[in-house]
Amino acid sequence: MHRKLRLRKREDFNKVYRFGKSFANSQFVVYWRKRSDRANFRLGVSASSKLGNAVVRNRLRRMVKEIVRLNAPKLQDELDLVLIVRKPALSLPYKEMEGSVLHVFRKAGLLQGMTPGASQPQGSGGRGKKPNGRNGMRGK
């Protein structure tokens, strides 16, 4: 990944964590924040020491950066992204990892032609009333 496309400073990571939004699946968490300048997106990858030793963490980071590099034309510009690797990603082969990274980007609405933060139209899925009308309330 080109140097201009990397988040490197702790200050930049902290801004994304503090002022950004996050979306997750079981393998990755993405934090993103809009920038004011018209430059390309910037990416930082975080892999905790709980994932394994330095060899394992660096391999995961390299794989994720390569996935993002190959799919860079699909991502929106003017964003700072932090991608956090979770433990279930350790066992994924490359193609499944690529699918999972793209899934979390799609979920966050960060791909071209999508509105960031609004990946699914309202009313499509998961959090409405339950079929029996109780909506999770017990008793009464």
Q: Does residue 126 surpass a pLDDT of 50? A: no
How many residues are recorded in the chain? 140
With a pLDDT cut of 70, the percent of the chain lying above it is 82
* Spatial contact of 41 and 30, defined as CB atoms under 8 Å apart: no
SS3 133: coil
pTM: 0.77
* Per-residue confidence (pLDDT) for residue 65, from 0 to 100: 93
Poorest-confidence range of 34-38, 44-48, 62-66, 89-93?
34-38
The mean pLDDT of 87-105, rounded to a whole number, is 94
Greatest CA separation for the chain: 60
* Per-residue confidence (pLDDT) for residue 135, from 0 to 100: 54
* Residue 6 banded pLDDT, cuts 50, 70, 90: confident
In terms of Cβ atoms closer than 10 Å to its own Cβ (0-12, 13-18, 19+), residue 64 is buried
* Per-residue confidence (pLDDT) for residue 122, from 0 to 100: 38
User: In whole angstroms, what is the distance from residue 45 CA to residue 62 CA?
Assistant: 9
* 86: CB partners within 8 A, 6+ apart: 24, 26, 27, 28, 29
